[in-house]
């Protein structure tokens, strides 16, 4: 089946990035969020980020305009009824995601493929609450979506091959590369990346290194583009903690226990870049370590 129209639920960091790349690849995009303010923020962000690609000569000004014109923003889930593919990209909480799917189902066409950009929640369990577990799968983008080349495609236990192939074709049309992952907690990227970040927080907690020396060590000693604490702030400390909890609960192994210091930062509401404070304080001109 041909996918022409893509519905994106949630216009946060990931949802707006997904709308951006879909529109540039020629898909009609229906971008939904419960908040009108969030939708207008997302439209501004997409405009600026495509503008950045124009200024680097990667996208033409005509394609920039055409991409923006392909995006329709709406606060009504019912408006996503004409989509051939839905990518749910709301808050990483299972109850929120389930409620969205429940509200969406009466409006969908029978052929519509439902997917979630979840970074760790069971695809099989999300799918089982819908009327189409065979046309449901995980469609997991990396942040920043316009830059990162990988998309993890996760089949639930019931996902059929036509659904997987249709999603694979979309990833290829985006110019990205798919990686097939089985439906186990946190899939591949986050199964490896987030415990590494958690270990970096333990390294800080136990006083082995300072924020700066930990980040410097991994950047210069392992050629990572960002240090693990800087990356944690970029991803969001609440998201990192949520993923550690999914690993801990789902695999029942103490090696996945979240570092108490990570929990403390989340309790403080210091969630990283999005709240201007995490392992670094972003309120000034240059980030300053908070410990
Ligand atoms: N939209 C469009 N383009 C963007 C962008 C955005 N939001 N952010 C950065 N870019 C572009 C820049 O324009 C620049 O383009 P050119 O190469 O054409 O010059 C390029 O990306 C590099 O950006 P910068 O020069 O500004 O900055 P940088 O060199 O420091 O790179 C980075 C920034 C790409 C974010 C890099 O630091 C990096 O790769 N960091 C690691 C990111 C990572 O690990 N992401 C995965 C997180 S895990 C995840 O997402 C999964 C999950 O579920 C939690």
Q: Looking at residue 281, which CATH number applies to its domain?
A: 1.10.1040.10
User: pLDDT, tens digit, for every residue of 37-49?
Assistant: 999 999 999 999 9
* Prediction pTM value: 0.94
Say if ligand 1 is within 6 A of residue 115 CB: no
Q: Specify whether 204 is located in the same domain as 141.
A: no
Q: Specify whether 116 is located in the same domain as 157.
A: yes
* Residue-level pLDDT at 103: 97
- Rounded to the nearest angstrom, the distance between the alpha carbon of 252 and the centre of ligand 1 is 33
* Residue-level pLDDT at 175: 98
Q: Specify whether 276 is located in the same domain as 172.
A: no
Whether the Cβ atoms of residue 33 and residue 10 lie closer than 8 Å to each other: yes
Instruction: Single out the residue in 181, 214, 240 at which a domain terminates.
Output: 181
Give the pLDDT band (50/70/90) at residue 120: confident
Q: Specify whether 175 is located in the same domain as 197.
A: no
Domain span including residue 56: 5-181
Q: Specify whether 238 is located in the same domain as 173.
A: no
DSSP helix/strand/coil, 140? strand
Q: Looking at residue 129, which CATH number applies to its domain?
A: 3.40.50.720
The continuous run of DSSP H or E covering 150 comes out as strand 150-155
Instruction: Count the domains in the chain.
Output: 2
Kindly give the number of the ligand 1 atom that is closest to the alpha carbon of 236: 54
Instruction: Single out the residue in 157, 181, 205 at which a domain terminates.
Output: 181
Say if ligand 1 is within 6 A of residue 225 CB: yes
Instruction: Single out the residue in 126, 147, 181 at which a domain terminates.
Output: 181
| 92, pLDDT greater than 90 | no
Q: Specify whether 40 is located in the same domain as 99.
A: yes
Cβ-count burial 64-79 (b if 16+ within 10 Å, e if not)? beebeebbebeeebeb
Residue carrying structure tokens 């993923």: 243
> Which of 213, 154, 210, 205 has the alpha carbon at shortest distance from 178?
154
Q: Specify whether 214 is located in the same domain as 276.
A: yes
Q: Specify whether 201 is located in the same domain as 124.
A: no
User: pLDDT, tens digit, for every residue of 141-197?
Assistant: 999 999 999 999 999 999 999 999 999 999 999 999 999 999 999 999 999 999 999
The continuous run of DSSP H or E covering 41 comes out as helix 36-55
User: For the range 48-56, what are the long-range contacts, defined as Cβ-Cβ under 8 Å and sequence gap of 24 or more?
Assistant: 49/17, 49/20, 49/146, 50/20, 50/24, 53/146
| 229, pLDDT greater than 80 | yes
Q: Specify whether 9 is located in the same domain as 125.
A: yes
Instruction: Give the pairing type, strands 71-74 and 28-32.
Output: parallel
Which residue puts its alpha carbon closest to atom 8 of ligand 1?
Answer: 144
Q: Specify whether 26 is located in the same domain as 166.
A: yes
Instruction: Give the pairing type, strands 280-281 and 71-74.
Output: unpaired
Q: Specify whether 198 is located in the same domain as 141.
A: no
Residue carrying structure tokens 């493929």: 113
Instruction: Give the pairing type, strands 288-289 and 113-116.
Output: unpaired
The DSSP secondary-structure symbol of 105 reads: G
User: pLDDT, tens digit, for every residue of 242-267?
Assistant: 999 999 999 999 999 999 999 999 99
Give the pLDDT band (50/70/90) at residue 31: very high
- Joined tokens for residue 219: 């950047």
DSSP codes, 67-89: HHHTEEEES-GGGGGG-SEEEE-
Q: Specify whether 135 is located in the same domain as 16.
A: yes
Q: Give CA–CA dist 236/239, Å, rounded.
A: 5
- Rounded to the nearest angstrom, the distance between the alpha carbon of 84 and the centre of ligand 1 is 29
| Residue 140 among the catalytic residues | yes
């Amino acid at each position: 089946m041909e996918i022409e129209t893509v519905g994106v639920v949630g216009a946060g960091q990931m949802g707006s990035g997904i709308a951006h790349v879909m529109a540039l690849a020629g898909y009609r995009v229906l971008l939904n969020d419960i908040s009108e303010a969030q939708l207008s923020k997302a439209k501004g962000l997409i405009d600026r980020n495509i503008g950045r690609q124009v200024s680097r000569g990667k996208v033409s000004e005509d394609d920039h305009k055409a991409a923006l014109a392909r995006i329709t923003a709406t606060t009504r889930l019912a408006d996503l009824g004409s989509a051939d593919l839905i990518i749910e990209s709301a808050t990483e909480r299972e109850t929120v995601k389930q409620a969205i799917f429940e509200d969406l189902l009466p409006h969908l066409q029978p052929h519509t493929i439902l997917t979630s950009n979840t970074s760790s929640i069971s695809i099989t369990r999300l799918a089982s609450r819908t009327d189409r577990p065979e046309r449901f799968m995980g469609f997991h983008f990396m942040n920043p979506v316009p830059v990162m080349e990988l998309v993890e495609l996760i089949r639930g236990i019931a996902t059929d091959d036509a659904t997987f192939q249709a999603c694979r074709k979309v990833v290829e049309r985006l110019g990205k590369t798919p990686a097939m992952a089985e439906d186990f907690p946190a899939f591949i990227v986050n199964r490896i990346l987030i415990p590494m970040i958690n270990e970096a927080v333990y390294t800080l907690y136990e006083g082995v290194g300072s924020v700066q020396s930990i980040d410097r060590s991994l950047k210069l000693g392992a050629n990572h583009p960002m240090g693990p604490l800087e990356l944690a702030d970029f991803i969001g400390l609440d998201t990192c903690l949520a993923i550690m909890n999914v690993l801990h609960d789902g695999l029942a192994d103490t090696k996945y226990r979240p570092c108490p210091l990570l929990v403390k930062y989340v309790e403080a509401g210091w969630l990283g870049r999005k709240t201007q404070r995490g392992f670094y304080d972003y309120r000034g001109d240059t980030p300053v370590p908070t410990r």
